[in-house]
Chain A
Amino acid sequence: MALPELAAENGARLDDPARETSPFAIRGLTVSYGGAPAVFSVDMTVVPGSMTAIIGPNGAGKSTLLKAALGVIPRLSGRVSVLGQPLESQRRRIAYVPQRASVDWDFPTLVLDVVLMGLYRELGLLRRVRRAHLDKARDCLARVGMQDFADRQIGQLSGGQQQRVFLARALAQEAELYLLDEPFAGVDAATEKAIIDVLKSLKAEQRTVVCVHHDLSTVTDYFDRVFLLNKSRIAEGPVAQAFTAETLQSAYGGRLATAQIDQLSLG
């Protein structure tokens, strides 16, 4: 266990300037759930201020990549850096929005409480919740159009509303990098519009956004960069270069009909 890690440290690519400036750089990430790797030796270099979509077929390891990079699930190998520093020391720069279905919405708590969880770093174990904290949490709810739901029990929300509450919690973290796992999965059209507006406003504030995304038809509208994954990295770059019929064919194999790719009207 110690030896390969040591070797990886010694062999750190010093000639890797992109890694030094990237708000989120993954090197050699491998994850296994006890069989064949779910994610194999993935490198990813997120460009500052970009909006990146992680796309790939079902079971390609998109969510796994994100969760393992953030330490939510264990990884076999790999390093993650934020602006050239190890992730562990830079967590305050990162906000994460998990998949909506990953939590039990029957949990006894109110919408505003969930948003306040985004202020955990400020509040710590025992600091009192002050008016300023409540105001900030309400502002974040307003940014996703959920200000009228602050005192609702979370189990009473629709799927789209739950997703917006999760986004509000991430906004409360005031991070530089936003990592979202399938934020548009199973939400209504109004929620999708609300979420993409917020994400674009984050980009306008020079913040960086990375989404695990499944809807190929909206990639060119929503994102400026893509990362194609199928267990290992297939392509990474600006949408115009990395989101092509060839790369899609390579990532999705036979699972994507040629007609579907044609419909995307790629350049």
Chain B
Amino acid sequence: MSGAEFVPLSLPPILIASFAAVACALPGNFLVLRKQAMIGDAISHVALPGIVVAFLLTGAVSTWPMMLGAAGAAVVAVLLIQFVHRVGRIDPGASMGVVFTAMFAGGVLLLEQSDTSSVHLDVQHALYGNLESLIWLDAFGWESLLDPVALAGLPPELLRMAVVLVLVTGFIRLFWRPLKLSTFDEGFARTLGMRTDLLGLALVVTAAVAAVAAFDAVGSIIVIAMFICPPAAARLMTNALERQIAWSCLFAVLAAVLGYVLAGYGPLWLGAPDAVSAAGMIATVSGVILALAALFGPCRHRLGQPKGA
């Protein structure tokens, strides 16, 4: 494949998918270790009422207010989950299930009752995103990467996802020690005076920002898969959190690149006429990576004495 074809058509979606995958996998490492992995699922459901409320308030379909609305809804959902867990005295998983389904249903009702019939909010888009359509028409080849005029025509999702990736990485780097400490031993962290409740909320908000940005660009299937699959596979490769993070980023990028290429060219290689959904293939590849790690990863047997000890 030549640069003239690859750069405008495939490079932007591959980069966007990779950024989205890493932005979700990074906080996913902590969510999985905290046994809160399903929060990604919850966030992608509560995004709907957030987006609808943002639309009702601004009256326009623009990205930033909708992302803010979705992020706000995620915070409300997290607080509600805590509230239902404490006041309703039901376990956190059930509380999460109640809150996100109720909020999603509320979003559907809001959508029905309000004058949003003109707005294009369809389920398919929400699930699979529109990765294949994020093309860069101003590019003519690799040399366009150095051409300011052409660069101005990059899909806005690319810049947005890059900014979110920088924010997420910055948060994890800055709060690395408290995150690690409080994830391992929250009680001890609290005796140091650490506000573990605020830190946990900040982690979920960070995850929500990553999820909402990725949700807009690549759909919720990738979001849910990337919160869990790369971190869970990475955990099977190493027993040190630092290395687990590195493995999870590698797996996330691998899933994004391989998934995109397989979706675009795999069916052709097999003699089928059409390409398949890139988002679906990326999520599938991340699942295959997890399966392979579960079968062959070096750190599958952990608890108890090591062999020969």
Decide if A and B are genuine partners: yes
* Complex contact A156–B309 (CB within 8 A): yes
Q: Does A247 contact B (CB under 8 A)?
A: no
Q: Assuming the A-B contacts A117-B185, A153-B302, are A110 and B239 also in contact, with contact meaning beta carbons closer than 8 angstroms in the complex? A: yes
CA A114 to CA B241, docked complex, whole Å: 12
Kindly name the residue among B186, B193, B304, B306 whose own CB sees the greatest number of chain A CB atoms within 10 A: B193
Q: Interface residue tally of chain B, by bracket?
A: 20 to 34
* Complex contact B174–A126 (CB within 8 A): yes
Q: Does B184 contact A (CB under 8 A)?
A: yes
Within the complex, what minimum Cβ distance (angstroms) separates A211 from chain B? 15
Contact partners of B244 in chain A: CB under 8 A: 108
Contact partners of A110 in chain B: CB under 8 A: 239-240
Within the complex, what minimum Cβ distance (angstroms) separates A162 from chain B? 12
Which residue from B177, B191, B238, B304 sits with its C-beta under 8 Å from A96? B191
CA A169 to CA B187, docked complex, whole Å: 14
CA A63 to CA B113, docked complex, whole Å: 53
Q: Does A201 contact B (CB under 8 A)?
A: no
* Complex contact B303–A125 (CB within 8 A): no
Within 8 A of B (CB), among A115-152: 117, 120-121, 123-126
Within 8 A of B (CB), among A70-85: 70-72
Within 8 A of A (CB), among B258-309: 302-306, 309
CA A96 to CA B239, docked complex, whole Å: 26
Within 8 A of A (CB), among B167-194: 174-178, 180-181, 183-188, 190-193
Within the complex, what minimum Cβ distance (angstroms) separates A252 from chain B? 27
CA A70 to CA B185, docked complex, whole Å: 14
Which residue from B175, B187, B188, B239 sits with its C-beta under 8 Å from A108? B239
* Complex contact A156–B180 (CB within 8 A): no
Which residue from A71, A117, A125 sits with its C-beta under 8 Å from B184? A117
Q: Does B89 contact A (CB under 8 A)?
A: yes
Extra inter-chain contacts (14) besides given A72-B191, A120-B181, CB under 8 Å: A71-B190, A72-B186, A72-B187, A96-B188, A103-B185, A104-B184, A107-B33, A107-B241, A109-B180, A117-B181, A117-B185, A124-B177, A156-B302, A169-B188
* Complex contact B241–A108 (CB within 8 A): yes
Which residue from A88, A114, A153 sits with its C-beta under 8 Å from B239? A153
Contact partners of A125 in chain B: CB under 8 A: 174-178
Q: Does B235 contact A (CB under 8 A)?
A: yes
The 10 closest A-B pairs by CB, nearest first: A153-B239, A96-B191, A72-B187, A91-B193, A98-B187, A155-B302, A107-B184, A72-B190, A103-B185, A70-B191
Within the complex, what minimum Cβ distance (angstroms) separates B182 from chain A? 10
Residues of A within 8 A of B (CB): 34, 67, 70-72, 88, 91, 94, 96, 98, 102-110, 113-114, 117, 120-121, 123-126, 153, 155-156, 158, 169
What residue in chain A is nearest B175 (Cβ atoms)? A125
Pairs A–B under 8 Å by Cβ, sample size 7: A91-B193, A109-B239, A113-B240, A120-B181, A123-B177, A153-B239, A155-B304
* Complex contact B192–A155 (CB within 8 A): no
CA A48 to CA B33, docked complex, whole Å: 39
* Complex contact A94–B305 (CB within 8 A): no
Contact partners of B180 in chain A: CB under 8 A: 109
What residue in chain A is nearest B181 (Cβ atoms)? A117
What residue in chain A is nearest B194 (Cβ atoms)? A120
Contact partners of A102 in chain B: CB under 8 A: 185, 187
Within the complex, what minimum Cβ distance (angstroms) separates A101 from chain B? 11
Contact partners of A121 in chain B: CB under 8 A: 192
Q: Assuming the A-B contacts A91-B191, A155-B303, are A103 and B175 also in contact, with contact meaning beta carbons closer than 8 angstroms in the complex? A: no
What residue in chain A is nearest B192 (Cβ atoms)? A120
CA A236 to CA B176, docked complex, whole Å: 42
Within the complex, what minimum Cβ distance (angstroms) separates A47 from chain B? 21
CA A255 to CA B176, docked complex, whole Å: 47
Contact partners of A114 in chain B: CB under 8 A: 184
CA A96 to CA B187, docked complex, whole Å: 9
